[in-house]
Amino acid sequence: MSGGTIAVVGGSIAGCAAALAAARGGADRITVFERAQAGLRDRGVGIGLHEDRFAELRDAGYLTSEMPWAPLNRRVWSVRDGDARHGRPVGEQPFPFRAYNWGSLWGELRHRVPDRVDYRSGAVITGVEPDADGVTLRLGDGHRERFDLVIGADGYRSVVRAAMYPEATASYAGYIGWRGTSPEVADLPSDGLDAHNIVFPGGHCMAYRIPDGVGGHRLNWILYTTPTGAEELHFDPRTPTSLPPGRVTARLTSSLRELVADTFPPYWAAKLLGTPVEATFVQPIYDLDVPSYTVGRTALIGDAASIARPHLGAGSVKALQDATALQAAWEEGGDWQRILDAYDTARHPIGSAMVALARRMGAAQVVNTPDWSAMEQPEFDTWWQAQNNGSDRTSGFGGHRLTGR
């Protein structure tokens, strides 16, 4: 099917990918509404892409080898061991990943969006009003615009999803991710070619090198733990959010720093505690699975469609794969209903499987951590395999194999 007017709500990685899919599918007019005025390129957090998933997305035309990245070969899990500078490894895994800077990857995708797409920054959507054969969007400035199809690519606080499923709310997992980026990468172990998981009772921290967007590198890290008191967060757990430095209480900041000082090997403690405060933020962890990725003339993509805890290392992969499936459904032809049904059939089961696997990983890696100090490689391998029980050979850490291309 070709033609039609398409709105994409959200202009980040998922939104740019959705706009590409719509353009390749033959839409007549595509409008992207991004609420941020500017600054998406400045988001410097890291993204990991499995080499196999990258190759599939490159072949599908959504990624290129020229996009700046840093190679990763192994993942090393280490526990504090007395004064040992880097701690003691309890397990090692092959880790054929590419590390990206979120802002740089978004910038590359943004450049790939055709010029004929109307990309509007600072455009806030306040209402989504579906009817029998289209959807009207209500904008923050009072204007209303009607489209044949609206794609929600507006992340975990999606207004499109809220219109489709008013009762669907993300569930707070009971723990947080404390994130940061540091310029201190000169002395990283293995010349920065490994990802490192520093483990402690009640959580772990993953750290790896990413491009900084200007030709160098930064250390990207995220520490998962349960806060000592819910009152420290000062947020409504029913409403997904993230907390920049100005909204993180002094008590929470102090408790997180004490945790690192008390449980991390000296080298990694210095890396985290030396990260500038303004380069850190707190991300409460959520998950959500919706009944379907489509309702009427509305569709969801990326985190707007399903929220999986970050332990899979596959959030951006899923958004890009959703776009390739939407493009494929478009190219197969038929009316709107047939296209949307084909998209939902291709992606909803995968999204549900990813949410379930990420929950199991969160339980094993944060909520019910093992006795790390008693672990060596055989015990680690058994523990890791238990988290992946129920996953087929096409899915697991790093995302689901892209099929049907």
| Digit-coded pLDDT (tens) for 292-350 | 999 999 999 999 999 999 999 888 999 999 999 999 999 998 899 999 999 999 999 99
pLDDT one-digit tens code per residue, 141-178? 999 999 999 999 999 899 999 999 999 989 999 999 99
* Alpha helices (H) along 174-290: 250-263, 266-273
Strand 194-200 to strand 70-79: parallel, antiparallel, or no bridges (unpaired)? parallel
pLDDT one-digit tens code per residue, 180-205? 999 989 899 999 999 999 999 999 99
* Average pLDDT estimate for 76-104: 95
For residue 404, what pLDDT is reported?
Answer: 44
* Alpha helices (H) along 333-405: 336-362, 377-387
* Average pLDDT estimate for 46-64: 93
Percent of the chain with pLDDT over 70: 92
The ranges of the chain annotated as CATH 3.30.9.60 are 70-100+172-286
For residue 405, what pLDDT is reported?
Answer: 41
pLDDT one-digit tens code per residue, 350-361? 999 999 999 999
pTM of structure:
0.93
- The closest of 198, 220, 221 to 211, measured between CA atoms, is 220
Structure confidence at residue 40 as a pLDDT band (50, 70, 90): low
**Amino acid letter at 295?**
V
Tell me what percent of the chain is helix, strand and coil, each rounded to the nearest 5: 35, 30, 35
The CA-CA-CA angle for residues 178, 184, 186, to 5°, reads 140
254, two tokens: 């102090």
Q: Per CATH, the architecture of 70-100+172-286 is what?
A: 2-Layer Sandwich (3.30)
59 three-state secondary structure: helix
User: How is residue 29 annotated by DSSP?
Assistant: E
The ranges of the chain annotated as CATH 3.50.50.60 are 5-43+104-170+290-369+378-387
Q: Considering only the top CATH level, what class is 5-43+104-170+290-369+378-387?
A: alpha beta
Q: Which residues contact 155 (CB under 8 A, 6 or more apart)?
A: 10, 12, 14, 302, 303, 304
